Amino acid sequence: MPQTIDTLISARWIVPIEPAGVCLKQHSLAIDKGRIVAILPTAEAPASYLARERVDLGSHVLMPGLINLHSHAAMSLLRGLADDLPLMDWLNHHIWPAESRLVRDEFVYEGTLLALAEMLRGGVTCVNDMYFYPGATARALLTAKMRGMIGLTVLEFPTHYASDAADYLHKGLSTRDEFNGEPLLGFTLAPHAPYTISDQTFGKVVTLSEELELPIHVHLHESQQEIIDSLKDYHVRPLARLKALGLLSPNLIGVHCVHLTTDEIHWLAQHGCHVAHNPTSNMKLASGIAPVSALLEAGVNVGIGTDSAASNNRLDMLAEIRMTALLAKAATLQAQTVPAHQALAMATLHGAKALGLDHLIGSLLPGKAADLCAIRLDDLETAPCFDPISHLVYAAGREHVTDVWVAGRRLLQNRELTTLNAAQLVARARAWRDKVRS
């Protein structure tokens, strides 16, 4: 007797990510109650499963949804506001003044929705975000029905959101209490960066992270200036300071990690820390090129992020995957470094590991959540196709993403968003443009 299930999706290829480099031809994926039940040859599926809904994807690859390991989603409303500037000039003279004028709950909710719509249309199913008003981010994720880890942001300086580090932490933890138990939401502690956070506040963050088992999401070693300033102010490099404060552990997600010595790479590996690599943002802000090959060789888990639309200016994970594979080769003069299958794993399983979610997402295994994306490979940009994994990384673009599921729910269907209204989001973004400019 065939087992009754919710959905059966058949595709020309399935790339499960685990085992590494495998591509299954003419396979189907069975989903029930939001979870993957099985992956089996399409010819064998009717004998095993009776599906309430059948989706025949034809010439597509079905793969795990992409995991954006670092973003500030609401900053999509600041896209293109300040380009061609180095990090500290960009932040101090453009972004922070704009944020202090504009960022309120409504800005974060609407900006995050705009970003989530863009990410969904690019195959992203889970985002690790860091911004003010985490409650607004949570509501946006619930509206979109997308998975997300919400940073409980900490800064020392006052903003409209909070007055000092204690207030940021208090407000963040209240938000966590309010949304705890939501199956698609998780939380991180998000101290902004070593140059904005005191030793005392880092100490509190470590204690809370251990007590509440929360990952720590922090910008780290992003620019040369950050290292110079730390040597001037603390007489040590930022990572050595964080090491002395007890931050290096498997709970740590260090964002950027562009400027690292060999010793620092080994510390990250020895302590089981994770790195979020943001190649486009690092190039655009002239921060540099992260030593991704050396990190991977040392055994550090490296995932991939977009950073914000104000420094990228796209929230396009397929573009970041391609850039990751290409930059690693250009930086090392080694063509075999970060091969296509590894770049894909970084944007899926490695991201899931960094978030402590690899039991649930990041690869297509029975029992894991049905967080999936489908990418068509029968367009002229992807013809002919010898190897779907090669095309996913080097040839396909986000416009080839046709369908996305989160926990078995179809959020993108033939490129149409099912939970969000694209035209309304664009209209709201236009209205915000006038406020941003004034």
Binding-site residue positions for substrate: 99, 192, 222, 307
Pick between residue 154 and residue 352 the one whose CB is nearest to ligand LTUXU72L.
154
Site string for ligand LTUXU72L, 228-257 (x = CB under 6 A): ------------------------------
Pick between residue 7 and residue 287 the one whose CB is nearest to ligand LTUXU72L.
287
Q: Which residues pair with 38 in a beta bridge?
A: 30
Site string for ligand LTUXU72L, 91-130 (x = CB under 6 A): x---x---x------------------------------x
Q: Does 82 bind ligand LTUXU72L (CB under 6 A)?
A: no
Q: Does 219 bind ligand LTUXU72L (CB under 6 A)?
A: yes
Residues 6+ apart with CB under 8 A from 319: 280, 397, 398
Feature table: binding site for Zn(2+): 70, 72, 219, 307
Residues found in the chain:
438
Specify burial of residue 254 (Cβ count, 10 A radius: 0-12, 13-18, 19+). buried
Q: Report the residue closest to ligand LTUXU72L, judged by CB.
A: 153
Residues 318-377 touching ligand LTUXU72L, rule: CB under 6 A, are none
- Compute how many other C-beta atoms are within 10 angstroms of the C-beta atom of residue 395: 16
- Residue 38, classed as helix, strand or coil, is strand
Kindly tell me which residue out of 110, 129, 222, 358 binds ligand LTUXU72L, with binding defined by CB under 6 A. 222
270 is written with which tokens?
């020895």
Residue 220, sorted as left (phi over 0), alpha (psi -120 to 50) or beta, turns out to be beta
Instruction: Find which of ligand LTUXU72L, Zn ion, none residue 311 binds, CB within 5 to 8 Å per kind.
Output: ligand LTUXU72L
Feature table: binding site: 70, 72, 99, 192, 219, 222, 307
Kindly tell me which residue out of 49, 131, 202, 267 binds ligand LTUXU72L, with binding defined by CB under 6 A. 131
Helix/strand/coil (H, E, C) string of 127-190?
EEEEECCHHHHHHHHHHHCCEEEEEEEECCCCCCCCCCHHHHHHHHHHHHHHHCCCCCEEEEEE
* C-alpha distances out from residue 119 to 15, 291, 367, Å: 20, 26, 25
Residues 33-62 touching ligand LTUXU72L, rule: CB under 6 A, are none
Pick between residue 45 and residue 276 the one whose CB is nearest to Zn ion.
276
Q: Are 220 and 242 in contact (CB under 8 A)?
A: yes
Binding site for Zn ion (CB under 5 A): 307
Q: Which residues pair with 30 in a beta bridge?
A: 8, 38
- Residue 278, classed as helix, strand or coil, is coil
Pick between residue 91 and residue 126 the one whose CB is nearest to ligand LTUXU72L.
91
Q: How far is the CB of 276 from Zn ion (least distance, A)?
A: 9
Pick between residue 17 and residue 216 the one whose CB is nearest to ligand LTUXU72L.
216
Residues 6+ apart with CB under 8 A from 11: 27, 28, 29, 57, 58, 60, 61, 62, 374
Q: Does 304 bind ligand LTUXU72L (CB under 6 A)?
A: no
Number of chain residues interacting with ligand LTUXU72L (CB under 6 A): 18
Which residues of this chain interact with ligand LTUXU72L, rule CB under 6 A?
72, 87, 91, 95, 99, 130-132, 153, 155, 192-193, 219, 222, 281, 307-308, 311
